[in-house]
Each structure stands twice: as C-alpha cells, then as structure tokens.
Amino acid sequence: MADSQSAETVKKLYASFAVGDVPAVLAEFHPNIHWLEAEGNPLAAGNPYTGPEAVLHGVFLYLVERIDNFSATPQRFVDGGDVVVAEGRYTGTVKANGTALDAQFAHVWRFRDSKVAEFQQYTDTAQWSALLNAHAGGDYE
C-alpha cells in the first residue's frame, strides 16, 4: 500500500531537517501549528509553541545552539492518513560538556489542509532534563 500524502510529508520533513533545510520544514507547518514538547522535557515550559516562528525560535534554534550534530532519525512510521506517528532516536553531543544524547522518541504529526497542524513529542524526559539542566546550570533557558 502506498503511503498517504501526510506520511510522505513527514518523511520529507525528517530528510529536510537532517540536511539543515529548516525553511523547507517550516513551509510544511500550518500557520497556527500547535507544537507540544513532552511533559517533563525542559522545553515543555514553552508549551504550546504556536506558529512556525515559535517552533523555530523556541525549539529548533535552542537545540542547535546547545547540541552538536543534533539529529532526529526516524526508524518506523505508522501511517494513519491525517495522523502519522514516527518512532526513532535523537542523537547528538551537548556542547557545554560533551555528554552524549541518545534518546528514543515518538512523534505524533496531525494534519489539516495538507499542513502539519499539531505535533506531540514523547521521549526520555529524564535524559533530556539531565542533559539540558547540566548544560545550563539548572536553568534550561
């Protein structure tokens, strides 16, 4: 069975992010995207991130500034049409102390009008908290 348009879009998002083509990623977001980081992840303090610019500045740039070679590598997709789940791993190295990031994730992507309207992250929040709080002296911002 062929992938839905939504699943194809999600696969393109990961491929674009992997090569640093953030404008291509943001172009697939609905203007009012509702982005949620996993509860317990220090970045969840900014939840919800509403709109592509909020995701860019509150999530993407934050991570790139603090984690070398950051990647979100999907390993499996579950195609539900307008809802797509990606399972995979985050990897990278915290710039401040050289600590490795290696955490599972599940991302739930919900579409409206052929654009990503909602995103929900699930991940190892204990690892994220330890890494980001150690980097920033206990204050993730």
Cα→Cα distances 54→7, 62, 127, Å: 24, 11, 24
How many beta carbons lie within 10 A of that of residue 104, not counting itself? 13
Strand 29-36, strand 115-123: pairing: parallel
> What pLDDT was estimated at residue 1?
66
Is the model more confident about 62 or about 140? 62
In 5-118, where does DSSP find H-type helix?
A: 5-18, 22-27, 52-55, 61-66
- The model's confidence at residue 140, banded by pLDDT at 50, 70 and 90, is very low
For residue 31, whether the previous peptide bond is cis, meaning omega lies within 30 degrees of 0, is no
Whether the model clears a pTM of 0.85, i.e. scores above it, the answer is yes
Domains (range + CATH), the chain: 5-135 (3.10.450.50)
> What pLDDT was estimated at residue 2?
79
- The model's confidence at residue 134, banded by pLDDT at 50, 70 and 90, is low
> What pLDDT was estimated at residue 133?
78
